[in-house]
Amino acid sequence: PSQAPRSQTPAAPEPAAPEPTAAERQVTEAAPEAAEPRPSESDESLSPRERSDRLVADALAAEQQGRWEVARALYEEAFEVEPLNPHAVAGLARERLTAGDAEGALAHAERAVQLRRRRAAYRVLLGDARRMGGDVGGARRAYERALELDPEDRDARQRLGR
């Protein structure tokens, strides 16, 4: 039997994967399932919250890569699966801020704060949405409340010039 001639050119080595950034490591630590193989999203053994959290993890990865349209679609799907998932709502607020939609960002940020009143990061998000909409005083109050919840919150401190 004849064999196909082998190429004399050696195969190029696979490029090394880049080291993850601090933000990427933080997302993986916050949602370790994002790095693991997953069953299909329609897997009936997962609760709606678990399915929603997996979609949020995928959306965060897309967000970090600057793929905002993909992130938005995944956050929207996560919200549809579990409307009470504050991470999905906060993700939609971040996406709307990036898109320059102050009204949409504000609606989602307010909802995220309602769902998790003691999460400083959501207060910062609310402040950012208010600032984008021109409510400087409301933004300041949101940042100050974030610092009451977490005196070390770097984003709130930065926005207040501290």
111-117-123 Cα angle (round to 5): 75
Return the amino acid letter for 13: P
- With beta carbons less than 8 A apart as the criterion, state whether 153 and 120 touch: yes
CB contact set of 38 (below 8 Å; sequence gap of 6+): 54
Residue 2 backbone dihedrals phi, psi, to 5 degrees: -90, 145
Per-residue pLDDT, 44: 73
- pLDDT tens track, the chain, 162 positions: 544 444 343 443 433 333 433 333 334 344 434 433 344 445 679 999 999 999 999 999 999 999 999 999 999 999 999 999 999 999 999 999 999 999 999 999 999 999 999 999 999 999 999 999 999 999 999 999 999 999 999 999 999 999
pTM: 0.72
pLDDT at 56: 97
DSSP at 117: T
Per-residue pLDDT at 43: 61
pLDDT at 143: 98
Which has the closest alpha carbon to 90: 114, 133, 55, 122? 122
